[in-house]
Structure 1
Amino acid sequence: MPVLYQYGLRTASDAKLAMAIDMSVTDLQAQYPSREALVSAAVLADTERQKRDHVALYAEFSSAVERLYGLLRLGLRDLASIPAAFYSELQNDFPSAWMVVVEHLNTYSAPQLQQLLNDGIRSRLFRSDININLVTKVLIEQINMMLNPVIFPPDRYNMAEVFRSIFLYYIRGLCTDEGARVSADHFARI
């Protein structure tokens, strides 16, 4: 993905892309007959990288609050490396690649969030009166809202700051007093 971030989804040359994945241009063009197929494969590979990052994060932190803030920290790190117009270009010019992102949110991120919320409620770090399905939907829709270039034009808003403003304060509101104490340390580091 770095070469796509650096040179753009449409404008990265096949030579640069082939070099980045240690392939010949001929092999690249044979394996990915269209730019859409290449971008979709790159986005899919990035979702798999995110999953590996999450496994490592879960090994580092045991509580649901720490894990949720850790996920936010990883999201902020990723957003800092992505050009402002990337998601807008992905949505508008590469619909099948964008569907990989949407599918990842629906089949991986949403269940992951539901499990974290459930774990946090059981360990009394999140309020017991929250509606897990509704809160999960709100969190996913906040991601969609954040990535919507009409709502947050990338040339006017820093996506990392939008991300921080949307999620960090919302998550603190889900916490019990005990969860807020755990949250305070992680919130200060993000």
Structure 2
Amino acid sequence: METILPLFRQHGLKAVTDEQLAAALQLSPSEFRQRYPSRAALVHEVTLADMERQKRGHAALFAQYSTAVERLYALIEYGLNDMVGVAPSYIADLQEYPETWAAVLDHLTTYSAPQTQQLLNDGIRQRLFRSDINIQLVTKILLEQVNLLLNPQVFPPDRYNMAEVFRSIFLYYVRGLCTEEGARIAANHFSRL
């Protein structure tokens, strides 16, 4: 699946032909059609594999950082870097596969949101995030900010420096959630970028 995912992400799910997919998997076109008779099943399998890849990436990131502030910023950066070079049609194409899109939404609900909530809880316990924040609401806002940043109609990449947009959205918002110590860590983290 790791050889197919980059093709789908770079060109979109519809633009990649079965012949290109077969070549990427080093299969003949007939072997490919026999193994993957349904594009929907292939897209679903690739998407599930991608979610597992992301989880492994997140675990590796968390091993690098000890504070919730750094982990939250690193997690956001990872997600944004992961979307660099993804065809604008990719997400829209995914939505045309109901079973796969349901799995994506379930992943957001059962993995991404709880992960963010846990980071916020950890940050409160570490006295890096303010104790009066509404964790569920802040989680929703953070996830929506990622969607906002990734929307090319809002921030066309040819008109905006995406690193500066990232900095403007997340540095100031997350810093506002921080205690004085958390804000210091946030500033140090961003100074290394």
Match of 2:177 among 168, 174, 190: 174
Deviation at 1:144, TM superposition (A): 4.6
CA shift in 2, pair 1:133/1:17, >3 Å = same
**Aligned residues of 1:79 and 1:159 also touching (Cα < 8 A):** no
* Residue 8 of structure 1, CA deviation: 2.7
1:16 paired with 2:20, answer yes
* Alignment of 1:28 onto 2:23: no
**1:82 corresponds to:** 86
User: Where does structure 2 lack aligned partners over 5 or more consecutive residues?
Assistant: none
- Who is 1:56 aligned against? 60
Contact 1:124 1:179 in 2 (8 A): yes
Percent sequence identity is 55
Contact 1:120 1:126 in 2 (8 A): yes
After superposition, give the CA deviation of every residue in 1:23-54 in whole Å (9 maximum; x if it has no partner). 44344333433222212221111111000001
Q: Tell me how far apart the structure 2 counterparts of residues 156 and 100 of structure 1 sit (CA, whole Å).
A: 32
| TM-score of the aligned structures, taking structure 1 as reference length | 0.83
1:121 deviation in Å? 0.3
CA deviations over 1:118-143 (Å, ceiling 9, x no partner): 00000011111101122112223334
The whole-number CA distance in structure 2 between the counterparts of 1:11 and 1:178 is: 49
Q: Structure 1 residues 57 and 119, CA, compared in 2 at 3 Å: closer, same or farther?
A: same
CA drift at 1:100: 2.2
Structure 2 residue 126 is matched with structure 1 residue 123:
yes
Q: How many residues align?
A: 188
Gaps in structure 1 of 5+ consecutive residues: none
Name the CA distance, whole Å, in 1 between partners of 2:171 and 2:24.
35
Matched, 1:100 2:103: yes
AA in 1 matched with 2:64: E
TM-score, normalised relative to structure 2: 0.82
Of residues 38, 44, 47, the one that matches 2:42 is 38
What letter corresponds to residue 41 of structure 2 in structure 1?
Answer: A
